[in-house]
Amino acid sequence: MTSEQFEYHLTGKEILEKEFKTGLRGYNPEDVDEFLDMVIKDYSTFTQEIEALQAENIRLVQELDNAPVRTTQPAPTFQAAAQPAGTTNFDILKRLSNLEKHVFGNKLDDNE
């Protein structure tokens, strides 16, 4: 959001300098002034925060515009990573069988 998109209707100074007409049963001027002081403080804080966020947004957009374009490559599948070229399922099963014999030894033959 840029400052052109958000239109400020009041400034802290305008709030501070606002004069209210009083009648016979009007508001207590001290209460109004105290409340308006809080409004001015909040309004100023919000205005500063909006300006800071707008500046950060501009900086991030520029950073994004200047960033090199990265293309993502699909992650290799487990099968492609696990099998060297030319390996078949039979080769894998044979190797697995040999590994089991090496790790478990005769225990596999005893359980059958």
pLDDT tens digits, one per residue of 14-64 = 888 888 777 777 888 888 888 888 888 888 898 899 999 999 999 999 999
DSSP 41: H
Contact partners, residue 82, CB within 8 Å, separation at least 6: none
> Does pLDDT of 3 surpass 60?
no
Tell which wins on pLDDT, 87 or 33. 33
Which tokens sit at 61? 């957009």
Which tokens sit at 10? 């009041």
- Give pTM, 2 decimals: 0.44
